[in-house]
Chain A
Amino acid sequence: MSPSAILRVGSNLSFDSAKCIGCESCAIVCPRGAIQITKDQGFETISYTFALCLYCRRCSFTCPEDAIKLTAALEPAGFSTSVRVEEKLQIELQICERCGSAFAPRPMVRKIENLIREKRGIDLSSLIVLCPQCRTRILAEGSPGRFGLSQALLSQSQQVAQSHEAKQ
């Protein structure tokens, strides 16, 4: 019996926690679902299962930050059904300052903020801490200095409505 019949190629994967921005593109591109992402209580957990990996290296080619390191490894064939989680990485999520939902990984938010400051000289720090839904709502309601509408106007209208209700 040749060795290939009893061994199969997989790979040892390691995430670089300093580089990873938690963008999930590795999990999207993985054909076997060896990289799984779960979001829970303000944290994103990226887990990698050795038993499912084909060593196709799509994840490392796709990763925009070069945060994935792969080395080929052999493991006994036939044992691959046992699910072994080899590597885990936890990334903090950014909490929306308006509605409190976790919407994007914090390293990604920081990276975007720095990128736009470098490239365009725009400070996004007040906008990027809001989730996309809240951001558009604030734009629609009119943010100060942008549409000439202030948040105060809306709260004022709410107060008027409440006083109407109180009168009735």
Chain B
Amino acid sequence: MQKLILFDPDKCTGCRRCVLACSLAKEGVFNSEKARIGVISIWEVGIHVPMFCQQCTKPLCADVCPVGAISRNEKTGAMVLEPNLCIGCKMCVTVCPFAGCLINPHTRAIMKCDLCDGDPQCVKYCEFGALEFVEADEVAYIKRKAGVDKLATAFKQIA
């Protein structure tokens, strides 16, 4: 069954360990510019939101890719970018609403989360349990909705 990464805004401290774990696992260096995950901090309301590929059921990135370099991996259910096919046109970067496709500023290559072949390092190194890797069943979708609602209530409390 497909698994997905869930996020709990109550637990995230904005430490960016997920970002460093990602860049180390994928590029072998500690460089937040080379990570497939990014953390947005909204200091006005004290909320940290990691943004990463949501492995959409109907992905826009695959729709716009002119060479069909983004396809679903049947084993993990992740949308995977084939670097040999990618021509670096950045259409996926322009269309993605979640900043799931990113540009490596050093090589101009496109980077995208592939769920680390079913063992995401960002989840492994999240000390606070803010990121969870769970099976994509109904409970997971309810949890995802709950996480989003938590964000909403946090804003309302402040306001």
Contact = CB atoms under 8 A, between A and B. Distances in A.
Genuine A/B complex: yes
Interface residues of A, number: 42
Contacts of A29: 87-88
Contacts of B87: 23, 25, 28-29, 62, 64
B38 A136 contact: yes
Binding site of B, secondary structure by majority: helix, strand, loop or mixed? mixed
B47 interface: yes
A149 B47 CA distance: 14
B29 interface: no
Nearest to A138: B97
Contacts of B28: none
Q: Give chain A's interface secondary structure class.
A: helix
Contact of B40 (A28, A112, A140): A140
A95 interface: no
A112 B94 contact: yes
A38 interface: no
A104 B94 CA distance: 7
Contacts of A62: 87
Interface in A106-146: 108-109, 111-112, 115-116, 119-120, 122, 124, 127-128, 132-133, 135-137, 139-142
Given A21-B89, A161-B44, 6 more contacts: A24-B88, A109-B94, A128-B95, A135-B99, A154-B45, A157-B45
Interface of A: 21, 23-25, 28-29, 62, 64-65, 103-104, 108-109, 111-112, 115-116, 119-120, 122, 124, 127-128, 132-133, 135-137, 139-142, 147-149, 153-154, 156-158, 160-161
